Amino acid sequence: MLDLHDIRYVRLGTANLDQAEEYATKVLGMESVRREGKSLYLRSDSRDHTLCYFEGDPKEQTVGFEVASKGRLKKAADLLEDSGYRVRSGTSEECEQRRVYDFVHFTDPSGTHFDLVLRPDDSGRRYFPSRDAGITGFSHVGLYSSDPKRDEQFWTEIAGAKVSDRIGDAALLRINPVHHTLALFPSNHGGVQHINHQVESIDDILRAYYFLKEKGVEIRFGPGRHATSGAYFLYFAGPDGMTFEYSCGVRIFTEEEEKTHRPRQFSIEPRSYCILGSKPTGIAGFES
């Protein structure tokens, strides 16, 4: 198993770095950490950064996961190579760009890019948001999958994730007690479908709804509540076609629940995504 410790960051190419920074700070509510060359680093919690925009094709996307030790990083690289996946070690320059001690890079069966990172930097000062969005931290990503059954097998049998629930063939997968850290949604390609940040309360979600509407930001789903994780949510449009999500109240499994939980199966219909009646628009993979 890859023995993933936690999700760490997302790296996104963008056609306009200035517009990405304007959105991330004034709309999304992240803290701008620094600009280095053609890269912009932002954070949403105590980590050095949780989102990095860089000048490039918006289709260039990478998700970073942390592993706990050098030995586990090597074992993960060996397992991926033995399983037929091409693995590349990061250069010293790339490690500096990511603020990590070491990493390896690979591509999953759908073509989505991932870093497995060792000893990523945390920040020595507390997170100070650019606006009061109520964000408490970066939590999970939704992934496009060209074959959800195949990709579920990869993430469970090789990466060591556990299935919490399924909607049709789309699995919601956890690597720790949180209900899901990644979710697979059917598509004809790979890539990042959405990026989630947790907020303190449902009040923050409702405030965001009115704030985003006032700013002319496209609301893509919600406010609502997921049938699977129990989280209250709001999805909305970001730069370069990306979807962002605020949510709160996500299910966290107890140690006993971790042992006894059986993944539930939900049909592909609107109420499987939202028990309050909200319906998604403009998010591929959510359509019934």
- What are the domain boundaries of the chain? 6-118, 135-273
Same fold, 6-118 and 135-273: yes
Contact 174, 103 (CB under 8 A): no
Beta carbons of 288 and 270 less than 8 angstroms apart: yes
User: What distance in Å separates the CA atoms of residue 288 and residue 271, rounded to the nearest whole number?
Assistant: 10
- The CATH code of domain 6-118 reads 3.10.180.10
SS (H, E, C) 6-54: EEEEEEEEECCHHHHHHHHHHHHCCEEEEEECCEEEEECCCECCCEEEE
Please list the ranges in the chain whose pLDDT falls under 70. Answer: 287-288
Handedness of CA 183, 199, 40, 88 (dihedral sign): negative
Say which CATH topology domain 135-273 has: 2,3-Dihydroxybiphenyl 1,2-Dioxygenase; domain 1 (3.10.180)
pLDDT at 287: 63
In this prediction, residue 288 carries a pLDDT of: 46
What is the enclosing helix (H) or strand (E) of 64? strand 61-67
